[in-house]
Structure 1
Amino acid sequence: MIFRQLFDVVSSTYTYLLADEGSKRALLIDPVFSQARRDLALLEELGLTLALVVDTHAHADHITAAWLLKQKTGCQIASAKVLQAENVDLPLEDGQEFGVDGVRLKAVATPGHTDGCMSYVLSDQSMVFTGDALLIRGCGRSDFQQGSAHKLFESITKRLFALPDACLVYPAHDYNGRTVSTIGEEKAFNARVGGGANVTDFVEYMHAMKLPHPKKIDEALPANMRSGCPEDGRLPEDPSWADIHVTFGGVPEIDYNWLERHLDKVTVLDVRLDEEVKDAPVSEALVDLHIPLDQLRARVGEVPKDKPVVTLCRAGRRSAMAVNILKESGFEQVASLSRGLLAISRH
């Protein structure tokens, strides 16, 4: 199985990619709307086809990317049936098995943080994706969205703690840099529900927390009840000046075929060393300007701003750094030539 744990720093949300190595079919758990481009880039780089996106609950701190990813890939959307969210293709019930070829999960109802919380257990019980029901050394709050501290205690102690001690716990959030735990660890050390705590211990602890209202709840909840579909039903606008592809590393790139057709519409900046340009010259019809990468910050004023800028180098690595330098200097329409001059040599 291919497995990746991804992180959104703004909402401290973990997104999980699971895929079958044979069929290359994948699913994403708890994708974040603002990170959809990142997730799509990773899928493309790993050669995977997204078949399913799954939310553990209706999040209050971020908007799900489920609807957006469905528009981009044709994948299906799954979430708890009790949520009655719009645009869901697979409404999940307690005990239901689902997934993709080679990666099967079981839906386990774990209400308490919200009424519609689900945890997803891998078929061999080696991993569980707990959403906000069980966090690492903590748990989700229980004071809104039909939350109940009593229900949450039952969900954690009767359902999640019934899994094998070695089962790896992957939560939807962590705010302290922790990435994974185990059921055995949480039974022993969870600050709210571990170490033999009873229902009174837990409920009194939760009632005493008095947390502030989630900042994005008024925006996130209505959107998440539409599976992340914007209120106007429109896709976010992509860059219009070029066929931009953003890599998993966050680099905006264009390919040589596009560049060749639009040379008159852009400024092409060569950031190779002087000796490289001398030893491997490029046609003046292709390159408009040459500034070595180590001089670019000092000479950025020489780069025209009347057109978008395409940076290039030998292999497309230094030109990616040139993109960052130009963006730092206020250039908005800028991209790196994918694979650099190596791509040109193949034509």
Structure 2
Amino acid sequence: MARDPYIVRRDSLAAAFPPGHEPPALLLDFADWLEGRPWGSLGCFRLEGTLSDEAPVVDGGTLRREFSLFLYLPDGSLVGFWHPDGMPTAASPIVGLGSEGEAAILAGSLEGFLAKLARNAFSDSGWSDLAADEDDEEDEEDDGDGGELVPVADEDARDALAEWLGARIGAERLNELASEECASTAFAARMEAWMQEREGYWVGHPILIEIGRALAAHRPPGRTPWDRTRLRAALVGTLCEVQVYRAGPQPVPEAAQVEPLLRALRDEQQRSDPDLGFWFEIHLALDAQGRILPRFDYQVRPEIGGAPAPVEAARFDLARAPRPVRWVPGWLAAASV
């Protein structure tokens, strides 16, 4: 049985790049080339532009100018460009941000990354989702005469990619890039330092300390150091909802005490990086000592009272804290036209 095709969302790629910068032509052309090809024939992923907010990284939203991510892997890992100086260039390497905290340079350029896909260079690495799915059944296609279906091996997709890319950069260059070794030490160190710095920053943040005190009744028992109570809050316009996840989301009695603290935190963050605008939802991981690690969501339309937040309320927030057009979430951009 033929596999479903890759999910390719070409129009989403521009939003992954900082304002004033566009996706490289090679990435757009690859999206066109990939469209309709069987999923798994080059690796297990979907091609879709996304912001670093989605990455398994503490405070990923503040790294938007440093990453342009365009591949989702099944385990939640993301792949894309890394712009160390915050400026996309032809020299921006392709990196992986793993769901378990891995951080690796996968290729020195987009050309190199595609060359490695074509040569199945990730099959023996920790990024094997980028290798052809050899365990799946072979695809089948019509033999051209309206007769029986015949198998199509994964090698056909890799060979087709190699031929397509080789026509652009030359077969010799393709083979050089496919075998290129990438040193990930600097990138891994950068991400490790970032995680440690941001975790320390939030643990010591005065507003979060106050929120932790207000929510003290919800601390976990603390049987193990990694126990956490999960809470979420939505702020949209004048509306606010604070919930704790305990047999499903439940309202917290301390919402009125926590709301002004959340609003003060949101205002402070917007002043420090105006382009991000206001977040609409925050997720809080509260430990037994009352320390909180937050995760901010600037893009998803939250629910309040079991229903999607009113667009009019979100427009009010957008007017107070404007964003670059490409960073306005689709649900709000469409409603604002």
Q: TM-score, normalization: structure 2?
A: 0.25
Bigger Rg over Cα: 1
Q: Which has the higher helix share?
A: 2
Q: TM-score, normalization: structure 1?
A: 0.25
